[in-house]
């Protein structure tokens, strides 16, 4: 008996199957968790911190699930990055409203979005399948960041932990960022240790973002030059 043909590529059923990949479902869950987290951020800081950090941890889980169940997809990768960028952006906007100067956090927000957007765009221009493919880069820190998962995880977790701690420490929405950091770093406690280690990782990530921005911009410019020479 002849086998029944499967769904044709591009059909509704095949598209639906990608949308329902396990890692993508985890991605939708992350979006919902973040929406609710920011809904309660000013009324329940503890619940906000738990939900936000749990959503952040799910970022690693969906990557594992994609490899485990052979469900890696371009849509999933984009969903993952967009969720990361928007959730971090929202937290930075909140921090810019509760600390002075707020421009510090808005600058970090602009750097984060610009560097990742340019990196994604330059990746497609060069015909690569992943924005993490930086083997041809000449910068050792850039290659270490994307080439070593543990190092990348340390930097990313450090940023999120530092932002969460700063939000938790904010009280009357008039604090100066440097005063809060200086006061808490002078204390001998687990919190001061977390702030110190997170500051180091966060600083490395911001430096990597600057390198990423410049590297991706150079790639776009070289693409334009090469395109004109071929005309």
Residue 176 tokens, joined: 């100066």
Residue 84 is among the residues annotated as catalytic for this protein: yes
**Helix, strand, coil percentages for the chain (3-state, nearest 5):** 75, 0, 20
Catalytic residue among 84, 136, 179, 226: 84
Give the long-range contacts of residues 219-224, CB within 8 A, separation 24 or more.
219/122, 219/125, 219/126, 220/118, 220/121, 220/122, 220/125, 223/122, 223/125, 223/126
Cβ atoms of 92 and 163 within 8 Å: the answer is yes
What 8-state DSSP symbol labels residue 172? S
> Annotated active-site positions, please?
84
């Amino acid at each position: 008996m002849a086998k029944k043909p499967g769904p044709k590529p591009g059909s509704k059923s095949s598209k639906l199957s990608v949308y329902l990949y396990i890692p993508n479902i985890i991605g939708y869950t992350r979006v919902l968790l973040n929406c609710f987290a920011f809904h309660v951020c000013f009324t329940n800081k503890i619940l906000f911190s738990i939900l936000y950090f749990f959503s952040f941890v799910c970022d690693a889980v969906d990557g594992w699930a994609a490899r485990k169940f052979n469900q890696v997809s371009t849509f999933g990768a984009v969903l993952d990055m967009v969720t990361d960028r928007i959730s971090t952006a929202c937290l930075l906007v909140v921090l810019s409203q509760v600390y002075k100067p707020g421009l510090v956090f808005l600058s970090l927000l602009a750097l984060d979005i610009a560097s990742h957007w340019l990196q994604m765009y330059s990746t497609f221009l060069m015909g690569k399948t992943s924005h993490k493919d930086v083997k041809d880069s000449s910068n050792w820190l850039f290659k270490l960041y994307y080439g070593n998962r543990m190092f990348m995880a340390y930097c990313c977790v450090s940023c999120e932990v530092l932002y969460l701690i700063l939000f938790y420490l904010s009280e009357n929405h008039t604090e100066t960022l440097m005063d809060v950091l200086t006061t808490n770093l002078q204390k001998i406690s687990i919190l001061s240790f977390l702030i110190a280690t997170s500051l180091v990782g966060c600083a490395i990530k911001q430096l990597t973002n600057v390198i990423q921005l410049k590297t991706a911009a150079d790639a776009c410019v070289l693409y334009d030059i090469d395109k004109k020479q071929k005309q």
